[in-house]
Structure 1
Amino acid sequence: MSEFRPSRRHLLAAGGLLVVTPAGLVPEAFAQAQLAASPKRGGVLTALIDPEPTALLSAVNVSGPTSFVSPKVHEGLLDYDFDLTPKPQLATHWETNEDGLSYSFKLRQGVKWHDGRDFTAEDVAFSLLFLKAHHAHNRSTFANLAKVRTPDPHTAIVVFSKPAPYFLTALIASQAPIIPKHLFEGKDPITNPAHNNPVGTGPFVFKEWVRGSHILYERNPNYWDQPKPYVDRLIVRVVTDPAARAAALESGTADISGDNPVPLAEVSRFTKLPNLAVEEKGSAYSGDINQLVFNLDNPYLKELKVRQAIAHAIDKKAYLDIVWYGFGEITNGPVVPALKQWAATDLPVYAFDPKRAEALLDEAGLKRGTGGIRFKLTNDYLPYGENFKRGSEFIKQALARIGIEVTIRGQDFASYIRRVYTNRDFDFANAWLSNYFDPTVGVQRLFWTQNIKKGTPFSNGANYSNPEVDALFEAAAVEPNVEKRRELLRKVQHLLVHDLPHYDLIAQKNLTVFNKRVKNHTVSANGLRANFADVYIES
């Protein structure tokens, strides 16, 4: 066994993520994320969130709101610096075998679950196998996980049947939480009450969830990393109205909120307020992308020419500028440009061409009828801030020009998830999805036939199946050679751009707005989806 010491080259191979400064703002307008000195103890931190989580633990549910709250209670084996360098969390030391098939983790000793039970290697073994079976991302991430050996209470040896070149970058709390075996073993993996009454090892202890109002956490006095955490209470308030969020932040009744919490048109003004700042860092781990997800069971959308027509009808540059105020980057494929190591640069482009769109619909036999309408579709937008609704309004207007009448349907987050991923009662969705740090983790799950799994959020909602795509993804997942793996992923991107189960719009930027008295809120690649152990409030 040799000790794993990641190099810069290794980390680029694992993800190659970059942070891009949004258009329209100079870098000086943004706060610089760094650990501040001399933390102060005490106080209440109030964070705003929208939409409300549908669960408080990210062992099955991988939505953004759940990924925000879960790490405050449940931790991962590792955490990651902004450049994705692994650093200890529940694991203090790790080694990888030369063949790349087994990894040995030394676990932190003296750690207690919030109910007083000891944290051991048995919890790690149970958690990784649970994630392999039930987690939308980790069904592919851990597809070749064979077993986890536990030679003693503080050692876990993870064994794969085939190489998993991304594994040591896949162990963050928001995506691979370690859960208590004694509360999950023998229980229904989906309906277990522990998803909404979480018991973890993290810096905050769950106290209450008042639906539609707030989630309350209190400082864990027995946290292993003393004297952290520094704040006494964390209140996560559910505020769905962007104007109300902006007012709460501006008035000081709320301290912090992420994922573009205020209207993007207001960001420039907020950077000039004396009590507030805007943070651009903290989304390196997620690799976010705005896509249209087509239901391939729909009688119109199952036709490739119809999906191609929709693609040609949308002016992506105008979409970026009008809907997102330039906070993002156009993407022509399912891998975001920031994943430079893996994003194909030779993909065909569906240029904005309404005449070509009209011709494709004519070729498909969908002629204009009464009122110039060819057919009707319903668009469901992700209820995550105002930008996706604005995006759907833009798309409605674009498609009206080529004779497709679109009805926009809004709903709460739980209803959206149920409609798209359980009932499949939708035509096409305006979605926010994430590449994460590697296509095997964030992209494969969306198009892999084995991930057509009703009831699992953010899985293969399109119901897309292509054996060639499956084979390429599966080969890339176990290919340790970077150049060979890049070629496999290039081929799969070409197939996906041709088949169009999704239409890729932009890689959006997600900003955090915070009160300047809040320190150390963004100290890792996962931004506000970290555990807040380092956060303190300056008086």
Structure 2
Amino acid sequence: MSKSNSMTLNRRSFLAGVSASALLPSALTFGTSAAAETVKMGGILHTTMWPTPTYLNAAITTAGTEAFLSPKMFDGLLGYDYGMKPKGSLAREWNVSEDGQRITFKLRDDVKWHDGEPFTAKDVAFTFMEVLKVFHGRGKTTFAALSAVETPDDHTAVFVLDKPSPAMMRALDSRESPILPAHIYEGTDIMANPANVKPIGTGPFKLAAYEIGANVVMEKNPDYWDEGYPRLDRMVVQFIADGSTRAAMLESGEVDAIFFNMIPAQDILRIAAEPGFVMEKRGFETMLSSQQMDFNLDHPILAKKEVRHAIAHAIDTKWITDNIWYGLGKPGKTPLHAGQTPFFTTEGVPAYPLDLEKANALLDEAGYPRKNGGMRFSLMLDPSPWGTESINASSYVREQLRQIGIAVTVRTQDFALFVKTVYTDRKHDLALYTAAMGVDPTIGVQRFYDSHSFKPGVGFSNGAHYDNPKVDALLEAAATEVDEAKRIEDYAEFQRIAMEDLPVLKITDIEMATIAADYVKDFTVDAIGAAGSLKQLWLDQ
């Protein structure tokens, strides 16, 4: 079926970044086909997502809908099997130097862009140096050590690093680092390029139609380099705002599968128990996700640590996990996701159990007594419309803070306006959202706490405007440290300091799931799952 891929990854410094000891998430029902089944080619997969995308290119945004759509049309240098074991994609093989500062990728020579132009090393160099390091919300951190990409010939790309970067080798898949065509983007305004909504990729699917606000239709790329793929003829993605409607569409057969927790948690569990459906929890190793709430530290009241501690003591994260996420997750304890072993720890990390009496006392001590009517001050809470959980949880947060004398107004907006309000205009007080934590803390977590990640206009970055030089130093040291024991120590200290300063309140470490009709086969076959191309998916109909 697939043309052969070989790989070479033989340097200890980077094996630490793709540890074979990584734990595989458990699954209820595997979304893979039995070996005896005969694969059927063709057919159309119908699914649904929300919110509507701003772009169709995940190289310039970390938004969830784009992270689903883009990898179907673009490829990355690598893919990842379960346990984050790297495998070839646009790169046939790769080699890491002894000092971990030069990585040589040998590229495929049989790949063409959707417009027929050949894929070359120039595209790789351009993408990483001119796009991912500049415009991608996590790229600035993930590729901070990447100083140059040399292109000795059309099918060799050499990454030159200032320092070793253990996390980087976990961030080269089509969702995190899609390769863009230099001949389309070079010399243009990257963010305004028309190709951002009319993609020209190398991936297994090509854009057939895009009706803004309604749907995206992708069709099979007949010239795809991986022989025998994709198996589908088409993929139709509808944008449906209401989560209950999305669930009803799955049950009625209007859509075949729901990815990325795109229906309410209670519906996931309910439908999974019905005959004719399967639920799969594997395939999310690259996108461990959490719900969390930023405090805008530019707000004079929220700048006081006692106020942030008081708010934390008023919110029962277990209640939100149990009642909003229906147990599909764990209450948040630290900035890291509980699945980010071996770095996650609660030892010595401050905790904020529900305690309204303590919360009230902290607000009194901070100089905000109750006024006539019982309120101390008011705040604006902006929940992200990604899924339904942040909007639903905001009602609980509003009621809890009312009990300690904080009047909260919940402002719901569409996704683009939410991002603009929080990350560009910075007209928020509290922002409640879900975000990818990454397979490594450097990739996903660091952007929320590193002062260098504060850049108005960049979504899902340091929205709190947190600035602690000691935290910066710890994060930067951990990002380049090849001794895993030292990385563990650095991240432990980071978790202790960050939870004391509390610029961000972790709510829930989410457990992701895909739910599909049982005739949908091979939708999850590796660590990337539905965040990959879905070229292997087929329909047994």
**Superposition pairs of residues 285-434 of structure 1, within 5 angstroms:** 285-346=286-347, 347-434=349-436
Partner of 1:136: 137
* Aligned mates of 1:532, 1:454 — CA distance in 2: 34
Q: For 1:467, which of 452, 466, 469 is the aligned residue?
A: 469
Separation of aligned partners in 2, 1:35 and 1:141: 37
Counterpart of 1:24? Answer: none
Question: What stretches of structure 2 of length at least 5 have no aligned partner?
Answer: 1-6
User: Is 1:537 aligned with 2:536?
Assistant: no
Gap regions ≥5 residues in structure 1:
22-26
Aligned to 1:87: 87
Instruction: Give the whole-Å Cα distance in 1 for the aligned partners of 2:211 and 2:531.
Output: 21
Out of 256-265 and 309-318, give the one that drifted further.
256-265
How far 1:397 sits from its partner (Å)?
1.4
Alignment partner of 1:372: what SS?
coil
CA deviation string 1:288-311 (max 9, x = no partner): 111111111112211111100001
Indicate conservation of the 8 Å contact 2:450/2:466, yes or no: yes
TM-score calculated relative to the size of structure 2:
0.95
- Taking a change above 3 Å as real, the CA distance of residues 348 and 159 of structure 1, as seen in their structure-2 partners, is same
- Structure 1 position 18, deviation (Å): 4.3
Question: What displacement does 1:312 show?
Answer: 0.7
- What is the alpha-carbon distance in structure 2 between the residues aligned to residue 233 and residue 132 of structure 1? 33
1:31 corresponds in structure 2 to 30
In 2 relative to 1, CA 517–11 (structure 1 residues): closer, same or farther, beyond 3 Å? farther
Residues in 1 aligned to 2:167 and 2:367: alpha-carbon distance in whole angstroms: 46
Q: Percent identity?
A: 40
Give per-residue Cα distances to partners, 1:14-43, cap 9 Å, x unaligned: 59764555xxxxx65x33546765321111
What is the CA-CA distance between 1:122 and the residue it aligns to?
0.8
1:206 corresponds to: 207
**Following the alignment from structure 1 to structure 2, what is the Cα–Cα distance between the partners of residues 52 and 488?**
39
Task: Please give the alpha-carbon distance, in whole angstroms, between the structure 2 residues aligned to 1:260 and 1:467.
Answer: 36
Pick one of 3, 6, 28 that aligns with 2:8: 3
Query: 262-271 or 40-49: which moved more?
Result: 262-271
1:63 aligns with 2:68: no
Q: CA deviation at 1:224?
A: 0.4
CA distance in 2, matches of 1:434, 1:263: 18
Q: CA 1:499/1:330 → structure 2, altered by over 3 Å: closer, same or farther?
A: same
User: Is 1:259 the equivalent of 2:260?
Assistant: yes
Alignment length (residue pairs): 532
Q: Of residues 497, 522, 525 in structure 1, which corresponds to 2:524?
A: 522
Verify: 1:165 aligned to 2:170, yes or no: no
- In 2, are the aligned partners of 1:313 and 1:352 still within 8 Å (CA)? yes
Cα distance, 1:456 vs structure 2: 1.1
Post-superposition offset of 1:410: 0.8
- Confirm or deny: 8 A CA contact 2:107 2:121 kept in the other structure: yes
SS in structure 1 at match of 2:373: helix
TM-superposed deviation, 1:139: 0.5
SS, match of residue 39 in structure 1 = coil
Q: Name the SS for the 1:229 alignment partner.
A: coil
| Deviation by residue 1:460-482 (Cα, 9 ceiling, x = unmatched) | 11111111111111111111111
C-alpha distance in 1 between matches for 2:473 and 2:169:
23
Partner of 2:238: 237
| Cα distance in 1 for residues equivalent to 2:502 and 2:53 | 30
Aligned equivalents of 2:327, 2:169: Cα separation in 1: 34
**1:150 is matched with which residue?**
151
How far is the alpha carbon of 1:274 from its aligned partner?
Answer: 2.4
1:454 aligned residue: 456
Preserved CA contact (<8 Å) 2:296 2:303: yes
Does structure 2 conserve the Cα–Cα contact (< 8 Å) formed by 1:35 and 1:523?
no
2 CA distance for matches of 1:533 and 1:265? 29
Name the CA shift for 1:385/1:456 in 2 (closer, same or farther; >3 Å): same
- Tell me how far apart the structure 2 counterparts of residues 256 and 342 of structure 1 sit (CA, whole Å): 34
Look up the match of 1:191: 192
- Structure 1 distance, partners of 2:25, 2:206, is 35
Change (3 A) 1:141 1:330: same
Q: What one-letter code is carried by the residue in structure 2 that aligns with 1:317?
A: K
TM-superposed CA distance for 1:485, in Å, is 1.5
| Letter of the 1:498 counterpart | E
What secondary structure does 2:192 align onto? coil
> In the TM superposition, what whole-angstrom CA distance separates every residue of 1:51-90 from its partner, at most 9, and x where no partner exists?
1111110111111111000000111000011210001110
3-state DSSP of counterpart to 2:321: helix
* CA pair 494-348 structure 1, distance change in 2 beyond 3 A: same
CA RMSD of aligned residues (A): 1.9
Residues 91-138 of structure 1, C-alpha deviations (whole Å, 9 max, x = no match): 011111111111111111110000000001111111111211221111
Q: Secondary structure of the equivalent of 2:285?
A: coil
* In structure 1, distance between residues paired with 2:25 and 2:331: 12
In the aligned structure 1, how far is the partner of 2:529 from the partner of 2:333?
26
Q: CA 1:14–1:408 in structure 2 vs 1: closer, same or farther (change >3 Å)?
A: farther
Partner of residue 3, structure 2 = none
The separation in 2 between residues aligned to 1:146 and 1:268, in whole angstroms, is 46
CA distance in 2, matches of 1:38, 1:4: 34
| Corresponding residue of 1:178 | 179
